[in-house]
Structure 1
Amino acid sequence: MPETSTQTNQVGRVYADALIELAQKHDRLDEVADEAQQLSDLLREQPRLQTLLSNPAITSADRVDLVERVFAGKVSDTLFKFLSVMARKDRLDELDAVLVSVRQRVADIRGEVEVDAWTAKEMGEDLRNDVRDRVASALGGKAVTLREHVDPSLLGGLKLRVGDRLVDGTAATRLRLLRRNLITAGKTAARDAAAVSGSAG
């Protein structure tokens, strides 16, 4: 893993732990967890907002003012104060990593496992329940929160991410592996033919 990615994950976890500790202190964990999810969805739907919040050309004071204008009165005081601290410390560029870590930490606290699932088209209820049950069984019966993603480039099959582990059973990946194996087999056959031709000569 690149060093910058590792550092980002570490910063995300540190700030996520601070937010969760603050939420638990005020008995607001469920509220803050829901807000963190909503904010994560918002940043994904409005990438320009994330770009604006993390713009290095904006001063800390302006960033604090931006947080005030965008979030004051729209989120809990707990989350608002936390975002303001991140703005003052010029850490809003890590916000997405923080929100991911918050979801993971809350899932741990609740005894849940968050699983991302990618399919070529939207899953039906039967497949959704089957995937959730199979993953829960593989993880010792833990409650599974399934986050679904649609990616038509996958062609078919299913790709899962459980924490840092990726399980890829998509058709696109199988085709890439088949193509790679065929190329390798072709090169091996060519070398073998050349060797036979050389020894015959």
Structure 2
Amino acid sequence: MPTNRHVLREKVATYASALLDGAYEAGAQDAVLEVRDQVENIMRISRSNMDLAEALEDSAYTPEQRGSMARNVFAQCHPVLVDVLAVMAERGDFALLSRVWASYGEQLERKLNVTVVDVTTVVELDDHLREIIVKKTQADLGTNVVLREHVDKSLIGGILMSANGKRIDASVLSQLESARNVLKLSTDGGEC
């Protein structure tokens, strides 16, 4: 008999698969990436608006009301995403969205051989640097890579990259912090 954890993992994978397959059928890789970005934005919104997240889970509303609420709130999103979110809300599973997003990324890599790499720099990437990053990450990850570029003026130079929840920090600030820690250990006699 499967455990609750196994059942939950299967449920999450099913939502992610329905989302990925539906988006791919509707518009190939472009739609898949659009849905990925939209889910990421919805997670950010639901974290900052707990009333919305709670309402989409609230058993005081009927499943139909929760589904209708999800359809109305997310009406501007990709139609496949709206459908999956409505089903999740109807079933009281909206809280699983972050797990569905993670599973979606894993399935994107496995089914389409694509990894989305978020790249944050202090200035916009030029074509040459973009090409270097793509080639390096493709070689390291063994998949095709799609870059999602972000500019953050608060960085002190360097680059932050993340893929599949793993973060690569090559910013000057992190290098300085690392050097400070090494110096501190050497002046403290190496004690922690």
TM-score of the pair, normalised by structure 2: 0.71
For structure 1, the 5+ residue unaligned runs are 1-5, 192-201
Asked if the contact 1:117/1:148 (under 8 Å) is kept, the reply is: yes
Counterparts in 2 of 1:150 and 1:75: CA distance versus 1, 3 Å: closer
The letter of the residue matching 2:176 is L
Asked if the contact 1:112/1:145 (under 8 Å) is kept, the reply is: yes
What is the root-mean-square deviation in Å for CA atoms of aligned residues? 3.6
The letter of the residue matching 1:67 is A
How is 1:6-21 mapped onto 2 (pairs within 5 angstroms)?
A: 10=9, 12-20=12-20
Q: Deviations over 1:125-172 (max 9, x none)?
A: 2211211122123334x3211122333343111222232433222111
The letter of the residue matching 1:33 is V
How is 1:52-71 mapped onto 2 (pairs within 5 angstroms)?
A: 52-55=51-54, 58=58, 59-61=60-62, 62-71=65-74
Output the CA distance in 2 between the equivalents of 1:121 and 1:67.
Answer: 37
Match of 1:175 in 2: 176
TM-score of the pair, normalised by structure 1: 0.69
My pick for the range that moved more, 57-66 or 164-173, is 57-66
Q: Which has the larger radius of gyration?
A: 1
My pick for the range that moved more, 10-19 or 41-50, is 41-50
How is 1:98-117 mapped onto 2 (pairs within 5 angstroms)?
A: 98-117=100-119
How is 1:1-201 mapped onto 2 (pairs within 5 angstroms)?
A: 10=9, 12-20=12-20, 23=22, 27-28=25-26, 30=28, 33-34=32-33, 36-40=35-39, 42-43=41-42, 46=45, 51-55=50-54, 58=58, 59-61=60-62, 62-71=65-74, 75-76=78-79, 78-140=80-142, 142-188=143-189
For structure 2, the 5+ residue unaligned runs are none
